[in-house]
Amino acid sequence: MKGKFKERIRESFPFLFVKPIKLPDAALPGFSDSVLAEEETIPGYDAKEYFNATPERTIGPASRYRLLLKFAYTAHSVTWIAQDLQRKQGDRLVAVKIFNITNTDDERDLEEYISYKYTLNPEYVPIWPCTEKFVVEGPHGKHSCLIYKPVREPMDIFLERLPNNKPSVELAKAQLIFLLDGLNHLHSRCGTVHTGKYYDPSYISSNISGGGGLLLTDILDLTPSNIYMSFESEGFLLDNVKQDPGNLSMKRKYNRLTDRFVYGCHRFGSFPLEDAERMRPKISGFGLAHRLGDGNNQGQPNTRIIQRPPFRAPEVILGCGWDCKADIWNFAILAWYLVQGTGLFSQGFDDPSPYQLKAHIADMINGPNPTLMKWAENVGAPGNILTVHFLMSRVDISMEV
Q: Residues 293-329: pLDDT tens digits? A: 765 555 578 888 888 888 889 998 888 899 999 999 9
Give the pLDDT confidence score for residue 137 in this predicted structure: 92
Q: Supply the Cα-derived Rg of the chain in whole angstroms.
A: 24
Domain boundaries, the chain: 2-366
Q: Which of 275, 289, 159 is nearest to 222 (CA)?
A: 289
Give the pLDDT confidence score for residue 84 in this predicted structure: 92
Q: What is d(CA 160, CA 274) in angstroms, rounded to the nearest whole number?
A: 15
- Per residue in 66-95, pLDDT tens? 999 898 888 888 999 999 988 766 568 899
Give the pLDDT confidence score for residue 395 in this predicted structure: 34
Between the alpha carbon of residue 342 and those of residues 215, 275, 334, 338, 347, the distances in Å are 19, 24, 9, 8, 12
Q: Is the pLDDT reported for residue 194 higher than 70?
A: yes
Least confident of 145-154, 196-205, 210-219, 283-292: 210-219
Q: What is the overall mean pLDDT for the chain?
A: 76
CB of 13 within 8 A of CB of 240?
A: no
- Per residue in 37-55, pLDDT tens? 899 988 889 999 999 999 8
Give the pLDDT confidence score for residue 220 in this predicted structure: 58
Query: What's the CATH code, domain 2-366?
Result: 1.10.510.10
Give the pLDDT confidence score for residue 178 in this predicted structure: 92
CB of 127 within 8 A of CB of 185?
A: yes
Q: Is the pLDDT reported for residue 394 higher than 70?
A: no
- What residues contact 295, with CB distance under 8 A and at least 6 apart? none
Give the pLDDT confidence score for residue 111 in this predicted structure: 81
Average pLDDT of the residues in 24-34: 64
- Per residue in 241-271, pLDDT tens? 766 555 567 888 888 888 888 999 888 888 8
Q: Does residue 382 have a cis peptide bond before it, meaning omega lies within 30 degrees of 0?
A: yes
Q: Which of 200, 253, 255 is nearest to 47 (CA)?
A: 255
Q: What are the E-state strand segments in 190-348?
A: 192-193, 227-229, 252-255, 260-263, 281-283, 290-291
Q: Is the pLDDT reported for residue 234 higher than 60?
A: yes
Residue type, 132: E
Q: Which of 116, 216, 219, 206 is nearest to 157 (CA)?
A: 216
CB of 62 within 8 A of CB of 86?
A: yes
Q: What is d(CA 98, CA 130) in angstroms, rounded to the nearest whole number?
A: 12
Task: Work out the burial of residue 28: count CB atoms within 10 Å of its CB; fewer than 13 is exposed, 13-18 middle, 19 or more buried.
Answer: middle
pTM to 2 decimals?
Answer: 0.75
Average pLDDT of the residues in 341-366: 77
- Residue with the bigger pLDDT between 233 and 346: it is 233
Give the pLDDT confidence score for residue 2 in this predicted structure: 56
Q: Is the pLDDT reported for residue 20 higher than 50?
A: yes
Count of CB atoms situated within 10 Å of the CB of 399:
13
Give the pLDDT confidence score for residue 327 in this predicted structure: 93
The percent of residues in the chain predicted with pLDDT above 90, rounded, is 22
Give the pLDDT confidence score for residue 170 in this predicted structure: 92
Residue type, 275: D
Give the pLDDT confidence score for residue 209 in this predicted structure: 35
Q: Phi-psi category of 74—alpha, beta or left, where left has phi over 0 and alpha has psi -120 to 50? A: beta
H/E element, 172: helix 169-184
- Residue with the bigger pLDDT between 399 and 207: it is 207
Distance between start and end Cα atoms, the chain: 62
Q: Report the SS3 class of residue 201.
A: helix
